[in-house]
Amino acid sequence: MRFTILLIAVVLLFTACENQRSNATRYYPVDSLVEAQVFYLYESKARLTKTATIGANHEQTTTTKDTTGWRHELAVFAQLDDINKPSNAAMYNVENGSPDVNSNLLVYALEAKDDPEHPIPVVLFKIYYLGSRENIRKVEGLYREETSLLTSSRKLSMNFENINNKIVLTSYSVTGGQKMLMGDSVQYSVTGMITLR
């Protein structure tokens, strides 16, 4: 009898873990995509040429990175995984498989429902893909934050290519601005071009 109860408890525990795991990636596993790119770019000894602009100031650097460096570099894109939070489950209008008017790609799009009482940071998320969502070519997102001290908005974009049957990040951009309470607005842009060796 005790064995049966223990067996049922173990089965329920594993079932609960599976349900929790499947809910964690309700819309798209952005965190897994970013993490896969971190390891591939490190293993490929990829070189990053990064250009940053804040106001009238420009700076360009070219570096290679370890996994920690790539993870830090792509952390801003991992924020798009907020779409998968359980509290955001019913907060998006979903459009799946629409043709992109500017290319031969299909688009999977999430657009935040207009709900002033429950604002969510990722207000727009799009995946451009060829044939299936595993064959992505571009990810776009619009991320907004508003606190009592500041308001910020940034457009995120990652471009991918199929290289040796592997989806590889080849460039990215982050553009946006932020306004402090009783302060000036700051506009910025960061672009990264990735070269594989």
For 92, the token pair is 């998006």
Q: d(Cα 42, Cα 35) in Å, to the nearest integer?
A: 11
Looking at the domain assignment, is residue 2 inside a domain?
A: no
Per-residue model confidence (pLDDT) at position 24: 52
Per-residue model confidence (pLDDT) at position 105: 97
Per-residue model confidence (pLDDT) at position 114: 87
pLDDT reading at 106 higher than 90 = yes
The proportion of the chain whose per-residue pLDDT surpasses 90, expressed as a percent, equals 74
Looking at the domain assignment, is residue 12 inside a domain?
A: no
Per-residue model confidence (pLDDT) at position 149: 87
pLDDT reading at 123 higher than 90 = yes
Handedness of CA 164, 167, 169, 171 (dihedral sign): positive
Q: d(Cα 20, Cα 175) in Å, to the nearest integer?
A: 34
Given a contact cutoff of 8 angstroms between Cβ atoms, the answer to whether 60 and 51 are in contact is yes
Neighbouring C-beta atoms of residue 184, cutoff 10 Å: 8
Looking at the domain assignment, is residue 10 inside a domain?
A: no
SS3 193: strand
- Going by pLDDT thresholds of 50, 70 and 90, the confidence category of residue 89 is confident
pLDDT reading at 187 higher than 90 = yes
Task: Annotate 121-160 with b (16+ C-beta within 10 A) or e (fewer).
Answer: bbbbbbbbbeeeeeebbbbbbbbbeeeeeeebbbebbbbb
Per-residue model confidence (pLDDT) at position 72: 97
83 versus 17: the higher-pLDDT residue is 83
161 versus 6: the higher-pLDDT residue is 161
Looking at the domain assignment, is residue 102 inside a domain?
A: yes
Looking at the domain assignment, is residue 1 inside a domain?
A: no
Looking at the domain assignment, is residue 139 inside a domain?
A: yes
Looking at the domain assignment, is residue 20 inside a domain?
A: no
The DSSP code for 81 is G
Residue with tokens 């199929």: 162
What is the mean predicted confidence (pLDDT) over 181-185? 82
Looking at the domain assignment, is residue 21 inside a domain?
A: no
- Stated pTM of the model: 0.83
Kindly report, residue by residue over 2-36, the tens digit of the pLDDT: 444 433 443 444 444 444 444 456 899 999 999 99
Nearest of 183, 176, 184 to residue 54 by alpha carbon: 176
Per-residue model confidence (pLDDT) at position 102: 95
Kindly report, residue by residue over 47-66, the tens digit of the pLDDT: 999 999 998 899 999 999 99
Query: 147 lies in which domain range?
Result: 28-195
Distance linking the first and last C-alpha atoms of the chain = 62
Instruction: Count how many domains the chain has.
Output: 1
Given a contact cutoff of 8 angstroms between Cβ atoms, the answer to whether 141 and 117 are in contact is no
Nearest of 157, 171, 152, 165 to residue 128 by alpha carbon: 157
